[in-house]
Structure 1
Amino acid sequence: MALTSGLPATGLLTYGLIGLAILAFILIVLEDVIHLNKAKSTLFLGTLSWLLLFMFGDQLHLHNIPERLNENILEIATLWLFLMAAMTFVAYLNSKGLIRVVIYRVLPRKISERKLLLLTGGFAFIFSSLADNITATLVSIALLMSLDLPPKKLVRMAVLVVFSVNSGGVSLITGDVTTLMIFMADKVEIQHLLLLVVPAMLSVLGLALLLSIGMNGTLEITTDPTRVRPLDTLIAGLFLLTILGTILGNILFSIPPLLTFLFGLSILFLIGHWGTQSESQERYILDYIRIIEYDTLLFFLGILLIVGMLKEIGALSALPLLYAEVPILAANYLTGLFSALIDNVPLTAAVLKADINMAPGEWLAFTYAAGVGGSLLVIGSAAGIIALSKVAALNFISYLKYAPLLLLAYSGGYLMAYQMGHWFLH
């Protein structure tokens, strides 16, 4: 690499910065072993890498470091604010038990294990397209844990939840961070992303049918006594309208999704002002912005700072070699497999920063691969990590037993996604 030639100090700084990035990814993988939250480690290493660029960037012949940082911060802030708005809605609805009540009202009082498996996969798929993957996984796993299932069957359902959550998020910018990142980079359009619903849904259905083999029992479902207030129903409707408005506003008027979601959030706060001021014990809706998953947001901030630094020093210049050596169909597929080992957020950011030339249909297939490929290993996605921490019977090995079925479902979904892009976007 050209940046490593010349003065020894130049090569030392380059390798040192790349070493910080590698250390960050190692700490992410080892999070559950060393008990160090990945938000803390990535934020520390991300900010440290940019501090080093400011102090010694001239050794790498980098100019206008403040301007380069501002460009990266603008991209990160747009993503960060959008996620904050969406997560505030979900934090409120989840804390009021509205999501749980809806689930129990939809489920029949008596249900077969096979039907429960299909309904769980369907719920996780739909809910993850509206909420973040962490919340969708937590709610889905909490539902399963309340049903007193045998450990082996609980593991099967947890495996389906992880795959369904990751699959459901790929077709909407509200459902998956990598989808949002690819959209904001102007690689895909909202109406084109909706094409992914079909391959994602069919792959989930196929996996559910494979996992349902041997599940022949019946379960009793108890009712949930939680009362839903009209205010909470109104806010749930506002959330759905905000999502719909985000999609239509962008398609019809090219309105940035962030602006529409912040507008919806402002209405949420106004409703909260008049809807809760007479209830002295009620937490003001504005307060719910304080209980969202800020460690998730800080993780994204840290990891995107690291990827931005790698782009600025030219360390991502080797990434397009994969796409130069093999057909794009195979390269995107392999990138999805890599996301089972490397967090899909930095992987997606790296591909975007490398500015690889792909047709819209190929970017669509990449969106599916980046969002769903992490399902192949339990440590490959946020959904898998959450399930791992909540289900005692689930571990790396018990999840790995289902890897062949997951690979089959991922491969089928990817090929269908590629074909959809080929049919409609070429």
Structure 2
Amino acid sequence: MPDFLPYVLISLALVGLLAVVLEEVIHINKAQVVLFLGALSWVLLFMFTPDADHHQRVRAGLDENIAEIASLWLFLLAAMTFVAYLNKKGLIESIIYKLLPQQISERKLLLLTALFAFAFSSLADNITATLVSIALILSLRLPAKKTLRFSTVVVFSVNSGGVAMITGDVTTLMIFLAGKVSITNLLLLSAPALLAVLVLAALLARPLTAVATIDRQPSEVQRVDVVIAVVFLMTILSTILCNVVFDIPPVLSFLTGLSVMFLVARAFGEDTETHPILNYIRQIEFDTLLFFLGILLLVGSLKEIHALDTFVRLYEFLPAWAANYLMGLLSAMIDNVPLTAALLKADVTMSLQEWMSLTYAVGVGGSLLIIGSAAGIVAMSKIPALTFGAYLRYFAALLVAYSVGYAAVLLLGQFVTR
């Protein structure tokens, strides 16, 4: 491999990051830019392979990268189709109207939204929890500025809720499978993570002084809608159970649930020639999927040149607790999965307390920037006003909440033993 190639690939990744940050300025769709740069990175890797062995390694790396992307795409397709159907039918709004009072203070509403997103992401995956939570926010029809506050809390709460469950976050599962923490240790992380969510909700709720009026618009919920909602819930629960008991990939469980949804719709006469059930797939934001594709291609190319391994050197110059804190900050800009993989591969020596703090940091740290987590990217695709710059306004509050949660993890670790 030529010496200049790693620098070129890193430069392309930085250009992609700038394109996302400056989307409002350059007026070029971020998905288009990162897709081009991601594909170009792999083209360059193939063009400058010095020998057959290196070419095979690049090919194997691309195959692995594409397999990861395909799994994510199919999972998103299934989850988004469920949510698109239920949202279109007004079922989500109907449930909200029944649970909430007609009038409620916006502060209390923000807190309830945060708790719902936190709890739901502990049961479901982050992407599904984000889709449902954002649908809830949009149904409330709040002013744009207040919608941004609510969506910021949702992104942070969703990432925080999943950090304590092996089914809630990939990095949590990776650290658990490596034998660094136990299930019990992970469950204890829910307390500091919840504390961080409450801190953020309190900070962002301060300017909210009005009383929200829930517009109870009657909606006719059909029997088929209720059955499909049950199928969706059962799909989420069976995904968790089958993954833990049989190690079945979540994407397979969700595709099975999606096929059951199609069959149920057909059985109830909901799938007709004039209104085919497959039309709901067309309502998915494919910009989101293309953006994911480009980002993961870029990160995959960086992984191929071992650019992410350099971050492991932080542990040579800083104590583990400080390096872990910085790894959380880095995960807001770089995919936390390869960062965690690099640390595990390097076999960094850390105590149980420090592994717990790393689990929290890489799981929640991605919330600091809107592009730092799948939850953020999904939320950004659903709410046009939620841009990189708009989310950045709340960076100080997000950093305070993240730091409070991290400090609580370190304190908790003092009392935890294997």
Equivalent in the alignment of 1:222: 215
State the TM-score, normalized to the length of structure 1.
0.79
How many residues get paired?
405
Q: Which runs of 5+ in 1 are unaligned?
A: 4-9
Closer/same/farther in 2, CA of residues 154 and 165 from structure 1, 3 Å limit: same
Specify the SS of the correspondent of 2:215.
Answer: coil
1:202 is displaced (CA, Å) by 2.7
**Structure 2 residue 97 is the aligned partner of structure 1 residue 104:** yes
Equivalent in the alignment of 2:377: 382
Equivalent in the alignment of 1:135: 131
State the TM-score, normalized to the length of structure 2.
0.81
1:223 is displaced (CA, Å) by 0.6
Distance in 2 (CA, whole Å) between partners of 1:321 and 1:67 is: 26
1:321 is displaced (CA, Å) by 0.8
1:423 is displaced (CA, Å) by 6.5
Distance in 2 (CA, whole Å) between partners of 1:40 and 1:173 is: 33
Amino acid in the other structure paired with 2:199: G
Q: Does the CA contact (< 8 Å) of 1:137 and 1:162 recur in 2? A: no
Equivalent in the alignment of 2:70: 77
For residue 180 of structure 1, the aligned residue among 151, 170, 175 is 170
Equivalent in the alignment of 2:231: 238
1:159 is displaced (CA, Å) by 4.4
Closer/same/farther in 2, CA of residues 40 and 376 from structure 1, 3 Å limit: same
**Structure 2 residue 273 is the aligned partner of structure 1 residue 306:** no
Q: What's the CA shift string for 1:13-47, capped at 9, x where partnerless?
A: 33222222222222222223222222222221121
Distance in 2 (CA, whole Å) between partners of 1:278 and 1:91 is: 15
Equivalent in the alignment of 1:28: 20
Determine what percentage of the aligned residue pairs are the same residue.
48
Q: What's the CA shift string for 1:270-313, capped at 9, x where partnerless?
A: 212222357554331x3323322322222222222222222222
Amino acid in the other structure paired with 1:269: F
Equivalent in the alignment of 1:290: 282
For residue 399 of structure 2, the aligned residue among 407, 410, 418 is 407
**Structure 2 residue 94 is the aligned partner of structure 1 residue 86:** no
**Structure 2 residue 325 is the aligned partner of structure 1 residue 333:** yes
Specify the SS of the correspondent of 1:111.
Answer: strand
Distance in 2 (CA, whole Å) between partners of 1:208 and 1:371 is: 19
Closer/same/farther in 2, CA of residues 315 and 61 from structure 1, 3 Å limit: farther
Q: Does the CA contact (< 8 Å) of 1:365 and 1:414 recur in 2? A: yes
Q: Does the CA contact (< 8 Å) of 2:106 and 2:212 recur in 1? A: yes
Q: What's the CA shift string for 1:234-260, capped at 9, x where partnerless?
A: 111111111111212222233332322
1:190 is displaced (CA, Å) by 11
For residue 40 of structure 1, the aligned residue among 32, 47, 52 is 32
Q: What's the CA shift string for 1:143-169, capped at 9, x where partnerless?
A: 45x2569x6x66654543443344345
Distance in 2 (CA, whole Å) between partners of 1:384 and 1:74 is: 24
Q: Does the CA contact (< 8 Å) of 1:166 and 1:383 recur in 2? A: no
Specify the SS of the correspondent of 1:57.
Answer: coil
Q: Which runs of 5+ in 2 are unaligned?
A: none
